[in-house]
A and B are shown apart, each in its own frame.
Chain A
Amino acid sequence: MPVSVIEGESLLAVDIGNVNTRAALFDIVDGEYRFLATACVPSTAMAPWNDVTEGVRQALEVLQQLIEHPLLTPNRQLILPTQEDGSGVDGLVVTASAGRALKTVLVGLLNDVSLQSARHLAESIPGVILDTIHLHDQRRFEKQIDAILALQPDLLLITGGVDGGASRSVLHLVEAAGLGVYLLPEEKRPAILYAGNAALAKEIREILAPYARFLQIAPNVRPSLDEEDLLPAQHALAELCTTLRRQELRGMEELLQWSGGHMLPTHYAEARLVRFLSQTLGAGRSILAVDLGASTTSLLLGHDGQTFVRVLPLGVGEPLPQLLNQIKAEDILRWTHFDLPSHRVIDFAYQKAIYPQTISVTQEELSLELAFAREILRQGMRELRQSYPEVLPPFPALEMILVSGATLTRLAHFGPALLAVLDAIQPAGLSSVLLDPNGLLPMLGAAAGRNSLIPVHVLESNALINLGTVVSVVASGAYGTPVLKVQLTYENGTEARLDVRHGNLEVIPLPAESTARLKLQPVSHVDIGLGRGRGGTFTITGGLMGVIIDARGRPLGLPEDVIRRRELAKKWLWTLGG
């Protein structure tokens, strides 16, 4: 048995967002790590508290009531390590996504080389790219300086030059950026990450260190023209983001001490877990994690042991009105079966923007919230695909889809959430869909930094809600035409057979933790991820919803006729038990 299990280290994980603060406890049960309990309270990162520790303490107070042993001293300090009377925990890890979106300016040589890598890097954090300074920038030198002054960025990402390559041009760009930084008031100077030509690292440090709020030098994101290596720079960027949050949010320093330095940005921690899961899946297979938050939404694709990340400054809270600048109210209404005027969409967006912590009480409101969720995820998929077209085709074969975020995971019925996810992501072939209602994924990613067994054991222990296996059919054709024959053989030998027709959703029950043999035979023009007309037999495990056959086609086409569209939306929802 591994040493870490014998030592039996209990671990507390907390995640601090703009809207919620969560705490979860992991400990050994029967020789394996288990997720024991969780608590979620409103975040105190903002006014009136402006102190993240208050939310953590409130969450721990709820948690200690649930587990019936103290985690806090009477004066509300965390008990570390576990005491003889059983109180306290052995360790703490912290993840945080609270804080404002980071205003970022990119500096790089060429738009489709180093600048593209800088963009990939910037897209992996909750931020907004405000400007780019590059070799073909038409602006005069002083205008580039003035741009930095006017924008007052939080973060400057500098890339450029392959290792041993261009140096003068990179230094010229750095000079403009550096002068801009120098002219900013000290309080407004940005943090700077340099991840360009490694030969210039020393010179860059000499130029920028005196003026940058914080300076990190990372290995080159473009060591050669045809190679992109983001991982080391992402790690350095995660450290830089944590440093910025420690300065921005009161209480982060105290949590850093409690955790012994185990503090990571939420999205980085989640990416670490997705990378780990991707490594376990094996070559050529993909996993997608989506986390729909109030302020940001992240999409993390794991493929061949790598992660490809897009964090959008969009969520089902404050940014909703921004989304309506990009899409029309009708784009939202097409996903709901309710007959609603378009102003309801706008009213909803502004209500959620002003009061992001609130929940949808009526069915109509929930339907609008899920419609917004679809559009945000669709935009995320589009942008992730634009950044990484080589690993994310239009209808991706995803072995596993992990879903986080209260809007999608806290519903009494899972059908509406599953439907929203399928509508937005439009996977192809066989996918397991798992919900993470307790926001454990980033916590487990952070926990892996302390004890790599924790995520392995916890993920094997049904800490996530497995909805089941979705079979997504890639087909276009007339509604009602046959597309697939399905035969499900249960463990006891009984069989379920189904002829699936285009445009339909079907559900075959298969209880969680049971397995079955699933035989699929598509008609000649239909693809279930194995090639047109090719079928196969698979051993699958069940879930809360069983086996879901999505034969609505790819791309998912919604009828032009409004009445027909609403009828279909209602039928699909009803099929999934919504």
Chain B
Amino acid sequence: MWAPRVSILPITTITRERRLPLPGNVLVKLNQRVAATEVIAEARLPRAHLYFNVARQLKLPPKAAAKAMRVRAGEQVSQNAVLAESEGLFPQQIRSPRPGRVVLASEGEILLEVESVTLPLLAGMPGIVTQVIPRYGAIIQSNGALIQGVFGNGRVDSGLLLNLMEREGEVISASRLDLSMRGAILLAGQCREAEVLRQAAEIPVRGLILSSLAPPLIPLALQMKYPIIVTDGLWPSPMNPLAFKLLTSHARREITLNAQFYDRKEGMRPEIVIPLPVSPEPKENNVESFAPGQKVFILRVPYAGQIGQVIQLLPEAATFPSGLRAAAAEVRLENGEQVLVPLLNMQLVD
């Protein structure tokens, strides 16, 4: 059975493809150095239109309506511009109530695009553009520490990491936040109060790293303008010791939070990147099967959130207290305890 993987790496080469969902303009060049919040490509999406039925509005037969049209597709028009005009002694006009772009003008119909949105694509981490994907985006590479999480609120930012955690199970309260934290990214533990998120916005901080976030706070987290990454769970959960050690050892260093949404299909996870001035050899990221000696992260109770090492894979399916039978491994937890875990309930830790 192939093993899913989560990355908690002290040093690695990180290569990420950033791609627009629809074609647009790429704004970066090969070998260009980019910041995490830099827009590397953008696409335009039309959002609002106005429709004019010339025949109906000018009370003309279809042929005359076609003749009455004064604009062509692709044309930019200003507010009050004449879009169509009837002939005769008392000509009637259709004028554009707003500036816009004519997207359709034929057979007595005019469609005017009056509003569009620009979809920016951010670099997501500081690095170098190693490949430009024409019309869609780029591939960016960086070196440093990498910690993947389970929840992100869709924002990106960089800042100095400030550690508010003394132990893995720390629960953050709003009273611990103050103005001295302005512009920092806070390593803050478990979050169960809305006030923490609100106060962090008021300071304002550049980001929050949480080990867990109470689910009722998810809608609020999604509204926050600063990035929030949850490393371990949307249930009460201490930070896993690997992430905790790695993050606390990089306190006061500039880090980046790419709090992109967790997307199983695309394999995208929210990521914390700590850029480091070293260049490790790029590692082959082959998909592996579970095997003895591997470091694993346990996903479900009764050992959820614990890190362990695979001792051996059981030759036959094991029966668990729930009565379910499944392929399993013997795993030694960090406290030395040896437990049985279904393979489906583990993922490899890089």
State A390–B321 Cα separation when bound (angstroms).
44
User: Are B215 and A145 closer than 8 Å at their CB atoms?
Assistant: no
Min CB distance, A227 to chain B, in Å? Answer: 35
> B299 on the interface (CB 8 Å rule)?
yes
- Binding stretch for chain A, among B45-53, B63-71, B156-164, B169-177: B45-53
Q: Does B342 make an interface contact (CB < 8 A)?
A: yes
A343 surroundings in chain B (CB, below 8 A):
235-236
Q: A232-244: contact bitstring with B at CB < 8 Å (1 yes, 0 no)? A: 0000000000000
Chain B: minimal CB distance from A221 (Å): 29
Most interface-central of A50, A140, A350 (chain B CB within 10 A): A350
Q: How large is the interface on A (under 10, 10 to 19, 20 to 34, 35 or more residues)?
A: 35 or more
Contact with A along B1-21 (1 / 0, CB 8 A): 110110000000000000001
Return chain B residues, CB-CB under 8 Å to A45: 265
**Chain A contacts for B203, CB-based, 8 A:** none
Specify the chain A residue showing the minimal Cβ separation from B265.
Answer: A46
Question: In the assembly, what is the distance between CA of A46 and CA of B324, in Å?
Answer: 25
Q: Which residues of A contact B264 (CB under 8 A)?
A: 46-47, 318, 356
B344 contacts the other chain (Cβ, under 8 Å)?
A: yes
Once A149-B47, A357-B344 are accepted as A-B contacts, the answer to whether A362 and B302 lie under 8 Å apart by CB is yes
B291 at the interface (CB under 8 A from A): no
A179 within 8 A of B: yes
Q: How far is the CB of B215 from chain A (nearest CB, A)?
A: 5
Stretch in A181-189, A273-281, A499-507 touching the partner: A181-189
Most A CB contacts (10 A, CB to CB) among B51, B103, B113 go to B51
Q: Which residues of A contact B108 (CB under 8 A)?
A: none
Residues from chain A with Cβ under 8 Å of B111 in the complex: 142, 145, 179, 183
- B2, A58: Cβ atoms closer than 8 Å: yes
Number of contacting residues on B, CB 8 A? 49
A360 adjacent to chain B (CB < 8 Å): yes
Q: Chain B 288-308 against A: per-residue CB contact (8 Å), 1 yes, 0 no? A: 000000000001111010000
Alpha-carbon separation in the docked complex, A145 to B50 (Å): 10
B150: chain A residues within 8 A (beta carbon): 354
Contact partner of B342 among A47, A149, A354, A359, CB < 8 A? A359
Q: How far is the CB of A119 from chain B (nearest CB, A)?
A: 27
A253 within 8 A of B: no
Kindly state whether residue A225 has any CB partner on chain B within 8 Å.
no
Give the docked Cα–Cα distance between A44 and B265 (Å).
Answer: 10
Q: In the complex, what distance in Å separates the CA atom of A254 from the CA atom of B304?
A: 39
Instruction: Assess whether B345 is in contact with A358, with CB atoms less than 8 Å apart.
Output: yes
Convert A341-384 into 0s and 1s, putting 1 for each residue whose CB lies closer than 8 angstroms to a CB of B. Answer: 00100110111011111111111011000000000000000000
Given contacts A351-B300, A359-B324, A362-B322, contact A146 B266 (CB under 8 A): no
Pick from A46, A48, A357: contact of B287, CB below 8 A. Answer: A48
* CB-defined contacts of A47 to chain B, threshold 8 Å: 264-268
* B47 A361 Cβ-Cβ under 8 A: no
Contact with B267, one of A46, A355, A360 (Cβ below 8 angstroms): A46
Q: Which of B5, B23, B45, B325 has the most CB of A within 10 A?
A: B45
Q: Min CB distance, B31 to chain A, in Å?
A: 28
A179 to B109, CA, bound (A): 11
Q: Assess whether A354 is in contact with B322, with CB atoms less than 8 Å apart.
A: no
Is A150 an interface residue, CB under 8 A from the partner? yes
Tell me the bound Cα distance from A321 to B23 in angstroms.
Answer: 33
CB distance A179 to B104 under 8 Å?
yes
Q: Assuming A47-B265, A354-B234, is B49 touching A359 (CB within 8 A)?
A: no
Report which of B49, B266, B325 forms a contact with A412, defined as CB distance below 8 A: B325
Chain B contacts of A363 at CB under 8 A? 321-323
> Nearest CB to that of A46 among chain B residues?
B265
Within the assembled complex, what's the spacing in Å between the Cα atoms of A185 and B45?
A: 9
User: Known contacts being A183-B46, A359-B344, is A365 close to B262, with CB within 8 Å?
Assistant: no
Complexed CA–CA distance, A356 and B300 (Å): 11
B179 at the interface (CB under 8 A from A): no
Closest to A366 in B: B322
Q: Is A490 part of the contact surface with B, judged by Cβ < 8 Å?
A: no
B326 at the interface (CB under 8 A from A): yes
Which among A50, A149, A361 has the greatest number of chain B C-beta atoms within 10 A? A361
Known: A145-B51, A351-B235, A358-B344. A410 touches B22 (CB 8 A): no
Expressed in whole angstroms, the Cα–Cα distance for A343 and B237 within the complex equals 13
Complex CA distance for A49 and B151, rounded to whole angstroms: 22
Contact B22 A187 (CB under 8 A): yes
Are A346 and B215 in touch, CB under 8 angstroms? yes
Distance in angstroms from A483 CB to nearest chain B CB is 31
Q: Give the residue name and chain of the A residue nearest to B346 (CB).
A: A358
Indicate if B92 sits at the interface (CB-CB under 8 A): no
Query: Is the beta-carbon distance between A185 and B22 smaller than 8 angstroms?
Result: yes
Report which of A142, A349, A356 forms a contact with B50, defined as CB distance below 8 A.
A142
Complex alpha-carbon distance, A45 and B266, angstroms: 10
Q: Is B233 an interface position by the 8 A CB rule?
A: yes
Q: What is the CB-to-nearest-CB distance from B137 to chain A, in angstroms, rounded to a whole number?
A: 14
Judging by beta carbons under 8 Å apart, are A412 and B262 in contact? no
Mask of A324-356 contacts with B, CB within 8 angstroms, 1/0: 000000000000000000010011011101111
Instruction: Check A465 for interface membership: any CB of B closer than 8 A.
Output: no
Task: List 16 additional A-B contacts (Cβ < 8 Å) besides A185-B23, A318-B264.
Answer: A42-B344, A47-B266, A50-B265, A145-B51, A149-B46, A188-B22, A321-B215, A347-B233, A350-B235, A351-B233, A354-B150, A359-B345, A361-B300, A361-B321, A363-B323, A411-B322
Closest 6 CB pairs of A and B: A47-B267, A347-B235, A412-B323, A366-B322, A350-B234, A142-B51
- 20 pairs of residues in contact across A and B, judged by CB atoms under 8 Å: A42-B1, A46-B267, A49-B2, A183-B46, A185-B22, A347-B233, A350-B233, A350-B234, A350-B235, A351-B233, A353-B234, A354-B262, A359-B326, A359-B344, A361-B302, A361-B321, A363-B322, A365-B322, A410-B325, A411-B324
Q: Which residues of A contact B (CB under 8 A)?
A: 41-42, 44-50, 58, 100, 140-142, 145-146, 149-150, 179, 182-183, 185, 187-188, 318, 321, 343, 346-347, 349-351, 353-363, 365-366, 410-413, 416
Instruction: Tell me the B residues contacting A by CB distance below 8 Å.
Output: 1-2, 4-5, 21-23, 45-51, 103-104, 111, 113, 150-151, 215, 233-236, 262, 264-268, 285, 287, 299-302, 304, 319-326, 342, 344-345
